[in-house]
C-alpha cells in the first residue's frame, strides 16, 4: 500500500468517528468525504491522488468543534469556520505525514484545506467548487428546513455568496443540477442580474 492509500485509510478512520449517522448508518462525515471526492473528480477531471485526498479532508473532524462552541451571529459563525479551516488543515497534514506522504505534499493539502489562495490557487478553488456543489446538491434542502424562520431574502443572499465563491466551471456544473423546484426558484432569484 502506498502512502496515498495509507493516508486515505487514516482519513476515513477519522471520519468514521463522527457520531452523526446517515439513514443507512454511515458516519455523516464519511459520506461527505465521498461526495467531495466525487465532485472534485468532476470539477478537476483527472484530479491527482493528492487533490482527491484533500477533498476527503474538507470537513475533517468538523464534528469535534460544534457550532455552539462559538457565539451566535455572523461574527461567531465566521470565527467558527476560520478556526475549523486551521484545525482541519493541521490535522490533515499530520495524518498525511503519518501515512508517509511527503511533507511538501502534506503541506500543499493543508494549504488547500485552509482555504488559502481561494480564486488564485487551483487546488483551493477545486475544493471550494466541490464544497459548494455538495451543498447545493445534497444539503441545501435540509439547511432550508432547519432554518425555516429565515426570510426568503436571507436564503437568496446565502446562495449569492455561494455562487461568488465558485469558479466559472463550478458555476456551470451547478447550473446542471436537478434541484427541487423551491430551491431552484431561490437560485434563479440569487442569479438574477448577475
Lowest mean pLDDT among 12-21, 52-61, 168-177, 178-187: 178-187
Residue at grid coordinates 488559502: 116
- In tens, the pLDDT along 87-139 reads 999 999 999 999 999 999 999 999 999 999 999 999 999 999 999 999 999 99
Q: What distance in Å separates the CA atoms of residue 121 and residue 124, rounded to the nearest whole number?
A: 5
In Å, what is the CA distance from 172 to each residue of 115, 140, 155, 177, 183?
Answer: 21, 18, 20, 9, 17
- Claim: this prediction has a pTM higher than 0.85: yes
Q: Which three cell numbers stand for residue 31?
A: 459520506
Q: Which three cell numbers stand for residue 177?
A: 443540477
- In tens, the pLDDT along 112-122 reads 999 999 999 99
Q: Which of 2, 110, 123, 23 is nearest to 60 (CA)?
A: 110
Q: Count how many domains the chain has.
A: 1
Q: Which domain holds residue 110?
A: 3-191
Amino acid at each position: 500500500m502506498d502512502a496515498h492509500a495509507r493516508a486515505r485509510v487514516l482519513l476515513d478512520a477519522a471520519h468514521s468517528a463522527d457520531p452523526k449517522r446517515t439513514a443507512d448508518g454511515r458516519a455523516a462525515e464519511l459520506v461527505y468525504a465521498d461526495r467531495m471526492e466525487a465532485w472534485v473528480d468532476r470539477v478537476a477531471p483527472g484530479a491527482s491522488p493528492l487533490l482527491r485526498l484533500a477533498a476527503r479532508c474538507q470537513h475533517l473532524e468538523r464534528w469535534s468543534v460544534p457550532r455552539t462552541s462559538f457565539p451566535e451571529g455572523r461574527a461567531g459563525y465566521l470565527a467558527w469556520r476560520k478556526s475549523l479551516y486551521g484545525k482541519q488543515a493541521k490535522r490533515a497534514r499530520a495524518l498525511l505525514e503519518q501515512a508517509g506522504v511527503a511533507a511538501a505534499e502534506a503541506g500543499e493539502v493543508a494549504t488547500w484545506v485552509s482555504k488559502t489562495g481561494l480564486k488564485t490557487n487551483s487546488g483551493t478553488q477545486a475544493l471550494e467548487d466541490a464544497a459548494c456543489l455538495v451543498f447545493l446538491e445534497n444539503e441545501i434542502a435540509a439547511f432550508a428546513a432547519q432554518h425555516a424562520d429565515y426570510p426568503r431574502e436571507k436564503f437568496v443572499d446565502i446562495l449569492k455568496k455561494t455562487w461568488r465563491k465558485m469558479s466559472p466551471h463550478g458555476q456551470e456544473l451547478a447550473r446542471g443540477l436537478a434541484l427541487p423546484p423551491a430551491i431552484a426558484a431561490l437560485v434563479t432569484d440569487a442569479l438574477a442580474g448577475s
